[in-house]
């Protein structure tokens, strides 16, 4: 049990790195074999990021090396090797039981994380809650290890914190938090848009504008996400994009929770996105950045007013049982 827990908490890239290293040193993966992120991630059922890190790791250790094509070659950089391009499935990788269970735990983790993140973000509008780890594990049907992992990640993202008695606490979402998050959006998003200007695909912007004009999109949340995806995330600054994504986390959960309560679509916001995409589409990036700032100012104000409705809604109605009001 203890061994499994250790593995469960081992970063995923290390688990992957461990598996590949074993199979390279045993000779199961021959020298010259081309290793590409995508197929490895698919095989291990993870995202690409940990595979990327694992490959870098092996590269630093001299077990694999970069070559003139995509990916890495198995073997030290000193050797002149002919690239072998074959599917990983052909080599029947040797994966220990420990690594397998570590991958499974990680798989479960990925599956449940998004759900818990959404629920915990949503509850904060109703006040302050204690998150009970055992109840969470029970609710999700996972081990306490996984539940704790999930909470640690939420803690990193600022959605839960440890209270004085070392209980996990979430919320309350105050007007101050909301205002600060919108203020941060107003500072970083227009700048990200300016940086992204040359990397935005005009065809994608055109497609969104067509969808708005044809009435295919009616929710401003869809446009908000599209704007993030096809514009802001194109900024060549991953740290900035990560800040923007994290900062939006709680805000979009609030929007989801409010529309769950019956908040109708905001036609004014929809119009504002249309204008925004029009400006970006016509390459008026400075104007678009200023317009975005104003749109965010109004949105902050409206969100604040809308959120006041929850003061008088009985909060316990639809919350999962691992959350108890403080």
Partner 1 sequence: MPTNLSTDYKLASPPRVKRRKLRVRGTDVTLVEQVRKQAAADLQIDIEFEVLDFLTCQHRAAMDPENYDVYEQCFHNLDIVWYWGALQPIDTDRITEWDNIGDLAKDGGISKYTWQGHGDAPIRKLYVQPDGMIGQQQMRHISMLPTAHNMDSFGYDRRVFGDGGPDGPSWAWLFDPRAKGRIALVDEPAIGIFDAALAAEANGDLTFADIGNMTIDEIDSLMALLETLRQQGFFCGTWVAPQEAEAMLHADRVSVQSMWAPSYGNLGAMEGVFTESVPREGYRAWHGGASLARHLSGAQLDVAYDYLNWWLTGPAGAMMARRGYYMTVPKRVREQLAPEEWDYWYDGQIARADLQGPAGNTVVRAGQKRPGGAYRDRVSRIAMWNMVMDEYNYAARAWKHFVSSLREVTA
* Contact call for residue 312 and partner 1 (CB under 8 A): yes
Position among 155, 174, 237, 282 found at the interface with partner 1 (CB under 8 A): 174
117 vs 266 by CB, closer to partner 1: 266
* Contact call for residue 216 and partner 1 (CB under 8 A): no
CB 19 within 8 A of CB 67: no
Distance in angstroms (rounded) separating the CA atoms of residues 289 and 234: 15
* Contact call for residue 176 and partner 1 (CB under 8 A): yes
CB 185 within 8 A of CB 292: no
Distance in angstroms (rounded) separating the CA atoms of residues 143 and 29: 34
Position among 261, 270, 287, 319 found at the interface with partner 1 (CB under 8 A): 261
91 vs 301 by CB, closer to partner 1: 301
* Contact call for residue 309 and partner 1 (CB under 8 A): yes
Distance in angstroms (rounded) separating the CA atoms of residues 77 and 38: 22
Instruction: Give the binding-site size for partner 1 (rule: CB under 8 A).
Output: 27
187 vs 263 by CB, closer to partner 1: 263
**H/E element holding 162?**
strand 161-162
CB 211 within 8 A of CB 217: yes
**Residues from 181 through 200 that contact partner 1 (CB under 8 A):** none
84 vs 263 by CB, closer to partner 1: 263
**Residue 35 pairs with which residues in a beta bridge?**
72
* Contact call for residue 53 and partner 1 (CB under 8 A): no
77 vs 172 by CB, closer to partner 1: 172
The DSSP annotation for 283-311 comes to: T-HHHHHHHHHHHHHHHHHHHHHHHGGGG
* Contact call for residue 175 and partner 1 (CB under 8 A): yes
**H/E element holding 134?**
helix 133-140
61 vs 265 by CB, closer to partner 1: 265
Minimum CB distance to partner 1, residue 317 (Å)? 13
Position among 1, 164, 239, 305 found at the interface with partner 1 (CB under 8 A): 305
**Residue 161 pairs with which residues in a beta bridge?**
169
Distance in angstroms (rounded) separating the CA atoms of residues 23 and 88: 11
Minimum CB distance to partner 1, residue 262 (Å)? 5
Distance in angstroms (rounded) separating the CA atoms of residues 223 and 212: 9
* Contact call for residue 264 and partner 1 (CB under 8 A): yes
* Contact call for residue 84 and partner 1 (CB under 8 A): no
CB 96 within 8 A of CB 4: no
Minimum CB distance to partner 1, residue 323 (Å)? 16
**Residues from 91 through 150 that contact partner 1 (CB under 8 A):** 125, 127
Contact range with partner 1 by CB under 8 A, out of 77-85, 132-140, 198-206, 297-305: 297-305
Minimum CB distance to partner 1, residue 164 (Å)? 16
- Measure CA 145 to chain center: 21
Minimum CB distance to partner 1, residue 310 (Å)? 6
Q: Residue ranges of the alpha helices (H) in 197-283?
A: 202-213, 220-230, 238-260, 267-281
Position among 152, 162, 268, 316 found at the interface with partner 1 (CB under 8 A): 268
84 vs 304 by CB, closer to partner 1: 304
* Contact call for residue 302 and partner 1 (CB under 8 A): yes
Task: Give the N- to C-terminal CA distance of the chain in Å, as an integer.
Answer: 33
HSE of 59, CA atoms in CB hemisphere, 13 A = 15
Distance in angstroms (rounded) separating the CA atoms of residues 142 and 6: 16
- Residues in contact with partner 1 by the rule CB under 8 A: 125, 127, 172-176, 179, 261-264, 266, 268, 298, 301-302, 304-313
């Amino acid at each position: 049990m203890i061994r499994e827990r250790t593995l469960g908490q081992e970063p995923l890239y290390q688990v992957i790195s461990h598996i590949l290293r074993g199979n390279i040193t045993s000779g199961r993966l021959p020298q010259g074999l081309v290793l590409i992120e995508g197929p490895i991630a698919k095989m291990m059922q993870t995202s690409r990021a940990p595979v990327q890190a694992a490959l870098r790791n092996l590269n630093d250790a001299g077990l694999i090396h970069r070559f003139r094509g995509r990916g890495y070659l198995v073997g030290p950089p000193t050797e002149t090797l002919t690239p072998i391009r074959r599917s990983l499935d052909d080599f029947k990788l040797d994966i220990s039981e420990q690594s397998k269970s570590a991958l499974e735990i990680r798989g479960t983790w990925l599956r449940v994380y998004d759900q818990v993140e959404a629920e915990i973000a949503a509850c904060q509008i109703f006040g302050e809650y204690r998150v009970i780890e055992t109840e969470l594990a029970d609710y999700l049907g996972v081990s306490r290890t996984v539940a704790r992992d999930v909470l640690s990640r939420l803690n990193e993202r600022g959605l839960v914190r440890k209270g004085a008695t070392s209980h996990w606490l979430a919320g309350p979402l105050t007007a101050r938090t909301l205002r600060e998050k919108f203020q941060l959006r107003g500072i970083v998003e227009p700048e990200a848009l300016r940086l992204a200007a040359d990397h935005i695909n005009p065809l994608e912007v055109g497609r969104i504008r067509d969808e708005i004009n044809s009435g295919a999109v009616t929710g401003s949340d869809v446009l908000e996400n599209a704007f993030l995806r096809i514009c802001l995330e194109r900024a060549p600054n991953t740290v900035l994009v990560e800040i923007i994504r994290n900062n939006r986390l709680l805000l979009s959960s609030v929007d989801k929770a409010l529309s769950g309560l019956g908040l109708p679509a905001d036609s004014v916001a929809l119009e504002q996105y249309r204008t925004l995409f029009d400006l970006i589409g016509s390459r008026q990036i400075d104007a678009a950045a200023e317009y975005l700032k104003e749109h965010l100012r109004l949105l902050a104000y409206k969100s604040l007013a809308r959120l006041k409705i929850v003061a008088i809604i009985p909060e316990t109605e639809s919350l999962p049982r691992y959350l108890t009001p403080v």
